Structure 1
């Protein structure tokens, strides 16, 4: 997509979110990002890009991984520490992953922590999906966005849930809206989702190669998730390239990103599906053991429960 050391000036329109679910309206605010490929002595099939919009300001890093190469595998990793959390750098050190980012949400106030929603690694269900959530005394059934990897290293993002330790997906998000909950999950409208690795996060931000931010349907209204934050995201392209993104935030030289900003970055890298992951102080990218971004403006890393990691067999 980009020639090495070639600075590509990008101008695209960000989309504003109004509380109307996955439908979005155009905004006059533009986002200009200059992208360049960064040399990191990476294996064939893995590329790192750095981008900045100095006017906002915003700084972002994108890793593109060729999922079709037989020696490259992606996995979801789960912490085995006693408190069930470790830094992304520790995930890399413990597994010899080439690239890793933080993944799903977790309960920071609990020790050991618990994952928020579906978490599956190496075929083992670590945590089932959350069936419902309460907002303003109303109970909403949920099937939030999840990232999955099957046994053939094919990637998928789906609105997913679990039943009897099996994973299921819906082709459309549930029709939740603020004050109007879906009362039950209808598994008759779902289909089996055969994933070896899977992790819930959300919301979905790109669907069918279009900006598609599902705040209401995934019941993220009433939270801070839609605000400007440091961000982490995962997506994939039509040719099965994996796209991993981190955006720094809460810093003088990088304000963070809205979900719409993040979606547009994923679209620029040709994602047909993309998912917002845990962000804020959790947003971390490590490559070859080196911290790439600056979480919360520094070099210290928050311990997290899960990671999406990439491995290369030489």
Structure 2
């Protein structure tokens, strides 16, 4: 027969266990664990220098966030005088990332901002070579930017930076200094710290993802995560932010993803596309979707 003391002890233990389960539940949703950190930092990436100061890296993870993941990136050393970053975009049209890159004679490229799928043109603020190409349309009822337009990549001459916008002030993006400004979001990292993300389907569901990141030693990283395939599940944004933080990025900005996710490296495949775009529902390099603008590497 149980004593009152034994009963209270078991009740206390049960309450403690339930509390732990409730506390841990959000952690399981995003599945980021110390084991995932270890997989990221110990993975041996395939690397190829495509030019001085420009390296293409690729890795396949059999079990990252309890799933298969395919990651490609182009790392640009901005201290190298031969390397520059630029933008290309259409105010009211769309084109393949690989075509943007080939027409510009670029070494590499990644798809960039969200866009109007019916008429083309970015739905976020874009300035190229001092000229405004598009204004931000992704606005909240109070006139401030949506979370998917809360950060910006600024390129001016030989410098590049990623900044978190002032979401309390309407029109902050128009006032950013720099000849080349590209607004997107959500912002993922600032100063090596994960930026708080809203709870919604866009952020929390797994999709192919594209991102741009900046390191403490002045490297710009263009990264794609493939998805919507048994060989590559894709990531939610907390997982993407976790990956980038463990990889040592300081500032990082989410770009348009899904079927738009495309990384181009000149001469590495027939089209130059090195990741596995999902728009054709095949795990090959041929599923590109036309986009409004791109980030270019020269």
Query: Aligning the two structures, in what range does the TM-score lie when normalised by the shorter sequence?
Result: 0.7 to 0.9
Change (3 A) 1:260 1:224: closer
Q: What is aligned with 2:188?
A: 205
Q: What is aligned with 1:115?
A: 122
1:230–1:257 CA contact under 8 A, matched in 2: yes
* Superposition pairs of residues 217-296 of structure 1, within 5 angstroms: 222-289=200-267, 290-296=272-278
Q: What is aligned with 2:100?
A: 91
The alpha-carbon deviation at position 208 of structure 1 amounts to 1.1
Distance of 2:182 and 2:73 partners within structure 1: 20
Runs of 4+ in 1 over 6 A off after TM superposition: none
The alpha-carbon deviation at position 27 of structure 1 amounts to 5.2
The alpha-carbon deviation at position 130 of structure 1 amounts to 3.5
Q: What is aligned with 1:185?
A: 170
Residue number among 174, 179, 194 corresponding to 1:196 in the alignment: 179
Change (3 A) 1:201 1:132: same
The alpha-carbon deviation at position 44 of structure 1 amounts to 0.9
2:113–2:184 CA contact under 8 A, matched in 1: yes
From the two aligned structures, give the one with the greater helix fraction. Answer: 2
Q: What is aligned with 1:309?
A: 296
Residue number among 134, 145, 153 corresponding to 2:150 in the alignment: 145
TM-score by structure 1 length? 0.73
From the two aligned structures, give the one with the greater strand fraction. Answer: 1
Change (3 A) 1:58 1:27: closer
TM-score by structure 2 length? 0.76
- Residue by residue, what CA displacement relative to the aligned partner does 1:13-63 show, whole Å, maximum 9, x if unpaired? xxx996xxxxxx995484234231323x51110111112220211110121
The alpha-carbon deviation at position 192 of structure 1 amounts to 4.8
Computing the radius of gyration from Cα coordinates, the structure with the larger value is: 2
Distance of 1:211 and 1:224 partners within structure 2: 17
Distance of 2:247 and 2:253 partners within structure 1: 14
Residue 264 of structure 1 aligns to a residue whose secondary structure is: helix
- Residue by residue, what CA displacement relative to the aligned partner does 1:175-211 show, whole Å, maximum 9, x if unpaired? xxxxxxxxx6396xx9952121121221001111112
Which range is displaced more, 26-35 or 46-55?
26-35
Residue 223 of structure 2 aligns to a residue whose secondary structure is: strand
**CA RMSD after TM alignment:** 2.7
The alpha-carbon deviation at position 140 of structure 1 amounts to 6.0
The alpha-carbon deviation at position 265 of structure 1 amounts to 2.5
